[in-house]
Amino acid sequence: MKYFNFRFFIKVVLISITVLVFTSCSNSSNDSNDCPVAVDTVNIIDEKVVGNAKYYLVLRISGWHDKSEIVELYNVKPSFDRCSISDVEPVYGNSLELDKTVAHLYFDVETKSLSIEYKDGEPSKAHNKNLKIEIK
């Protein structure tokens, strides 16, 4: 019986998996909208009616290993494709400081801007999924 080279077998398997992972998001046409390997997670976490307008707060979690959390404010309900790209541009977007806890998200009606207020204490990523827009 021939000697089985286990190291060679493992290398072939790892290379095959790597090729599959990097090509699995690709479709047969050379579409420029191919998704990256790590696709953002996006969720509409709040909506607020202000006058005749409705605003939507989206939490975007981006990254593979070192994740970042981004809040985006839309003045039209966004929909996202398979690559987590919105069909409309946000009116506001900013990264959350992950070493702090978000106390409040204030929406200024006059300037149509969002401000983030932090408090001391242990950060809670689960808390960020429950953020609410507050009118200032």
pLDDT digits (tens, 9 = 90+) for 7-51: 888 888 888 887 777 666 554 444 555 777 778 999 999 999 988
The answer to whether residue 118 is domain-embedded is yes
Say which residues have a Cβ less than 8 Å from residue 1's Cβ, sequence separation at least 6. Answer: none
The pLDDT value given to residue 35: 79
79 inside domain: yes
Range among 18-27, 61-70, 78-87, 104-113 rated most confident: 78-87
Residue 33 lies in a domain: no
Q: Which range of residues forms the domain containing residue 89? A: 41-135
> Between 134 and 122, where is the model more confident?
134
Percent of the chain with pLDDT over 90: 36
Per-residue confidence at 67, pLDDT binned at 50, 70, 90? confident
pTM above 0.85, yes or no: no
Question: Would 89 be classed as within a structural domain?
Answer: yes
State the Cα–Cα distance between residues 106 and 113, nearest whole angstrom.
8
Q: Does the residue 9 lie in any domain?
A: no
Domain presence at residue 47: yes
Range 108-136 average pLDDT: 84
How much is the pLDDT for 87? 94
DSSP string, 61-72: EE-SSS-EEEEE
The whole-number pLDDT of residue 23 equals 64
Under 8 Å between Cβ of 92 and 74: no
Q: Is residue 107 part of a domain?
A: yes
Q: Is the pLDDT of residue 127 over 90?
A: no
Domains held by the chain: number: 1
User: What's the mean pLDDT in 86-105?
Assistant: 90
